[in-house]
Amino acid sequence: MRGPSSLLALACAAGALATPVFSSDDPADKEPVLTERVTVTASRLPDEPDDADRVPASVTVISREQIEQSGAADLADLLALEAGAVRYDQTGNGVQTTFDMRGFTTGSGTRVFLDGAPLNDAINNTLALELVPLESLDRIEITRGSAAALAGGGSEAGVINLISRRQEELGGSLSMSLGTFDSAKYGGFLSHDIGLVDFLISGTGRETDGFRDNADGELKRLSATIGFDLGQERRLDVTLVDSESDYGNPGALTKDELVADPSAAPFNSLDFADQRLGLASVNFRGPIAAKLTLATNLFARSRETNSLTTGRAAPDFGGFALDADASFWGSTVQVSHRHDAGDRLNVWTFGGEWLDGDTESLGFSTPIDDPGTIPTDPKTDTTSDRRSYAFFVQDTWTPTGDWTLLAGARYDHDHVGRNESLPDPANDGSRTFSELSLRAGATWKPNPRHAVYASYGEGFLPPTTEDLFAFPGFGSNPDLDPEDSRSYEIGYRVRSSGAYLDVGLFLIDTKNEIVYNPDIGLFGANVNAGETKREGVEISLRGRVQPRLDLSAALTLTDAEFTAGDNNGNDVPLVPGERLSIGMNLDLPAGLALHGDALFVGQQVLDNDDANAQPELDDYVVVNARVVWRLADVTTERNGLRLFAEARNLLDEEYATRGIYAFDFSSGMNDSFFTPAPGRRYEFGAGWDF
């Protein structure tokens, strides 16, 4: 096992949580007390919530309270502490990071939904999690494992459901903070319930000069949720999001450059990536007949991207600028039938969904002598489209009070196409893919505190239009087939005395994985030659060990390797073998609260180093601390002024979250490149809750 000493030290701290604890000195409280029932969304759209302990999958729920205690800057920052997470920075600015789970590393293995609307890019399934308005979320539900039968393509690693906040009384908050690197944050929200209508409006902004040259930028997020009580348990909700980020991309450094000056960006001083996300989503849920419930979602989503890439090849080739605008519509309709007969329960869920949209892209070659100047005439003019529909069915059956059985199936039909006006209309092309995905599982819960589950799930990922058509002769292959995965898992859960313990063992076999083969043709091509195996153990622990003290830990051990071809037996790049996070929340007298967390990430094979021939990326430990002082109102605990201070990377660890082995145009040789992470930084601020 890699990084044993660091891992052992953190594992010992996490292991302390495994001992049963009690939250009171009163002898009457010495008997185990059940924790509050945790519920999750087990179907495609939120329906009647299911008991999380009866879902045959590894499930984590992050509450609003936990979001606030963490002080996380964005959604990826928060999710990085969870079991199974994979996160790294390939842009170099520390904000626009890549997130995935269970050994998938491209950012396209996890599907994310906000109130039922998909947030993944419909063309390549990637995410920009920094654009998600974290301040407007009530809870986050993470379901791990291949889940195409639940969520469709692009869910080989799992599914994340984001659920917006609802407030039933007048309330709000304002905050402002300043920090290292001339950074500033500001934001707030306002909510109210007016008769049969409730709303919550939130907005935040972040600005920074950056911890590196050309890492400066700003992020703005606006969101609104409006709910309408239609009576008889029927409800209509509207979600609106408008977020944008504008950041420089300082890129990676060689080892010598990293040692000399990790803050420099000698070859990417002009690069940037500006993004904007717009979302309008309408949801309805309510009974339509005896034992029948209807849930629907209708959404419209837009995403704009403007970027410039120069880098080390600019003296020979100039730079490349991209202007892309994507617009998509979609809808999901789901009907559930619930039948109760004493301890026996049977819930049938069936429905369908569709998606339709285009991405229009203009590409510009910038001049060699002035790579930062973007000309007016594009070199490429393309439109990529995607049309898809799906039908799904799922049955959840509780034959006895101890057992819950689940079975589901989904049929997906995807059409992807590309129309190229410039430079060569002959590069047009289209493909159609069809997939039938299955899901099954069983949970045995012999008593309220213990549960055991086993599950099987299937996943797939269609090739993108770039994989298929964008670069003929330089990698694209119009004959590619979708990746396919099979996921197997067994797990054990304990709920007692305010403590949660989840243990899961998983195996994911992936076939037809799309890899680049340099030996095909003149410049190589993408092929369905890859087969991989990802297996591991995930242990999550959370408990209230004292009335004022909560502790948590998440340990992930992952073995991701190639199982076919020349690299058979080698490790998959960018997958850490070990990850361990621990966290602490302590409420003190006089309105003080402390939060601390630490994350250990083990060594990783460099990106592109499928042969495992280069030295691995070093392991690292990052420690964060946050203190909050609430000058509480005498009648309402959370009202009034609060002051807060935090330190990120408290130990000033020097590390990189990503490394890549690639050709160095500045030297004419292959070399290893590393993306440095920010060092120690502080933030101080104040807020007003009302």
> Do residues 103 and 507 make contact, with C-beta atoms less than 8 angstroms apart?
no
Lowest mean pLDDT among 30-44, 82-96, 206-220, 491-505: 30-44
| Confidence band of 87 (pLDDT split at 50, 70, 90) | very high
pLDDT at site 129 = 95
Q: Is 592's pLDDT higher than 60?
A: yes
Lowest mean pLDDT among 101-105, 454-458, 612-616, 636-640: 636-640
Q: Is 543's pLDDT higher than 60?
A: yes
2 or 206, higher pLDDT = 206
Q: 6: which 2 tokens?
A: 């660091």
Check whether the bond before 46 is cis (ω within 30° of 0).
Answer: no
| Confidence band of 9 (pLDDT split at 50, 70, 90) | very low
> Do residues 257 and 264 make contact, with C-beta atoms less than 8 angstroms apart?
yes
Q: Is 61's pLDDT higher than 70?
A: yes
pLDDT at site 42 = 84
- Mean pLDDT of the 572-588 span: 96
| Confidence band of 530 (pLDDT split at 50, 70, 90) | confident
Bridge-based pairing of strands 578-587 and 549-562 is antiparallel
In percent, the amount of the chain with pLDDT more than 90 equals 76
Q: Which residue has the tokens 């979250």?
A: 657
| Confidence band of 305 (pLDDT split at 50, 70, 90) | very high
At 482 the three-state DSSP class reads: coil
- Report residue 16: phi and psi, to 5°: -60, -25
* Residues belonging to the chain: 690
Bridge partners, 101 (sequence order): 85
Q: 89: which 2 tokens?
A: 């920075």
Q: Is 20's pLDDT higher than 60?
A: no
| Confidence band of 523 (pLDDT split at 50, 70, 90) | low
> Do residues 84 and 160 make contact, with C-beta atoms less than 8 angstroms apart?
no
Question: Quick one: residue 152, left, alpha or beta (phi over 0 = left, psi -120 to 50 = alpha)?
Answer: left
Q: To the nearest 5 percent, what fractions of the chain are helix, strand and coil?
A: 10, 60, 30
Write out pLDDT tens, residues 318-357.
999 999 999 999 999 999 999 887 778 899 999 999 999 9
> Which regions of 232-289 does DSSP assign to beta strands (E)?
234-248, 253-254, 272-289
pLDDT at site 157 = 96
Q: Is 19's pLDDT higher than 80?
A: no
At 401 the three-state DSSP class reads: coil
- Report residue 20: phi and psi, to 5°: -55, 140
Check whether the bond before 375 is cis (ω within 30° of 0).
Answer: no
> Do residues 334 and 385 make contact, with C-beta atoms less than 8 angstroms apart?
no
- Mean pLDDT of the 570-593 span: 95
| Confidence band of 473 (pLDDT split at 50, 70, 90) | low
Bridge-based pairing of strands 158-164 and 110-114 is parallel
Lowest mean pLDDT among 271-280, 407-416, 545-554: 545-554
- Mean pLDDT of the 100-114 span: 93
Q: Is 24's pLDDT higher than 60?
A: no
Lowest mean pLDDT among 46-60, 546-560, 619-633: 46-60
What's the mean per-residue pLDDT of the chain? 90
> Do residues 459 and 155 make contact, with C-beta atoms less than 8 angstroms apart?
yes
Residues spanned by the domain of 24: 4-689
CATH of residue 27: 2.40.170.20
Question: Could you give the number of structural domains in the chain?
Answer: 1
| Confidence band of 518 (pLDDT split at 50, 70, 90) | low
- Mean pLDDT of the 591-595 span: 94
pLDDT at site 498 = 78
Cβ-Cβ contacts under 8 Å for 495 (sequence gap 6 or more) = 34, 35, 53, 448, 449, 450, 451
> Do residues 232 and 287 make contact, with C-beta atoms less than 8 angstroms apart?
yes
Task: Please count the helices (runs of H) and the strands (runs of E) in the chain.
Answer: 7, 34
pLDDT at site 632 = 64
DSSP secondary structure string, 665-682?
Answer: TTTTEEEEEEEEPP--EE
Write out pLDDT tens, residues 549-558.
999 999 999 9
Q: Is 17's pLDDT higher than 60?
A: no
pLDDT at site 318 = 94
| Confidence band of 515 (pLDDT split at 50, 70, 90) | confident
Q: Is the pTM of this model over 0.85?
A: yes
Q: 674: which 2 tokens?
A: 């590393």
Count other C-beta atoms under 10 Å from residue 294's C-beta.
Answer: 18
